[in-house]
Structure 1
Amino acid sequence: MTHAHITTWVIAFILFFVSLSMYKAHSPKAKIAHMVLRLFYLLIIATGAMLLFSLYSISALYIVKAIVGLWVIVAMEMVTVRAKKGERAQSAWIQLVLAFVLVLYLGLKLPLGFHVFS
């Protein structure tokens, strides 16, 4: 299940940048890419919930990681919607980078993920 979760995240980030570039190019198909990205948000939440509830005992750091993961999704959506409207998204980008670094650190630190910082 971990691989499915990581795969959905990677595809979501690819779709995120594709959607952004399509909105900046004023492509009429940008809305389709954005809707597919939203579908991947749901897949990320579903695979993350399956991983979280498959644990024998859930520590507080896993709950924090889940909340920060939701924060990443919300920040991605804020950046995409602001690009769609043609508005500045500097604060949303800062949130996205901060949340992504934090969730990546937690994911690599916790025992369920890869053991880089252990």
Structure 2
Amino acid sequence: MTHIHITAWVIGIILFFVTYSMLKSGNPKAKMVHMITRLFYLLIFLTGGMLITDFGVYAVKMIVGIIVIAAMEMVLVRTKKGKGTSAMWILFIVAFIFVLYLGLSLPQGMDFF
């Protein structure tokens, strides 16, 4: 399940940046890619929920992961509406780094830290 979750995250992040660049360039197919990105958000939620076995730090990681997905969505929506995205980018980067640290340092993650 860990591999499916990581794969979903990697594809979700790639789709996020693809959708962002398509929205910025005014590509009409951006809406379709945005919907596919949202499907990967759901896959990330489902696989992440299945990985929860202990409610200690794992619950914190889950909440921060949800914040990352929310920030990704807010960047895309605010870009589409032509609004400022600086705060959402900062939130995304900080939360993403934190969730990576938690994910890699917890017992089910890789032993980098």
TM-score range for the pair, normalised by the shorter chain length: over 0.9
- Per-residue deviation, 1:87: 1.4
Q: Distance in 1 between matches of 2:22 and 2:74?
A: 16
- Per-residue deviation, 1:21: 0.5
For 2:69, the aligned partner's letter is I
Q: Tell me, which stretches of 5 or more residues in structure 1 are unaligned?
A: none
Structure 1 counterpart of 2:17: 17
Q: Distance in 2 between matches of 1:59 and 1:34?
A: 32
Identity fraction in percent:
58
Q: Distance in 2 between matches of 1:97 and 1:88?
A: 16
Which secondary structure state, in structure 1, belongs to the residue aligned with residue 110 of structure 2? coil
Q: Distance in 1 between matches of 2:84 and 2:93?
A: 16
- Over the aligned positions, Cα root-mean-square deviation in angstroms equals 0.7
Q: Distance in 1 between matches of 2:8 and 2:110?
A: 17
Q: Distance in 2 between matches of 1:75 and 1:87?
A: 14
TM-score by length of 2: 0.98
For 2:67, the aligned partner's letter is W
Which secondary structure state, in structure 2, belongs to the residue aligned with residue 68 of structure 1? helix
Structure 1 counterpart of 2:92: 96
TM-score by length of 1: 0.93
| Residue 66 of structure 2 corresponds to residue 77 of structure 1 | no
User: CA deviation digits over 1:7-26, x for unaligned, max 9?
Assistant: 00000011001100100110
For 1:82, the aligned partner's letter is R
Q: Distance in 2 between matches of 1:80 and 1:43?
A: 18
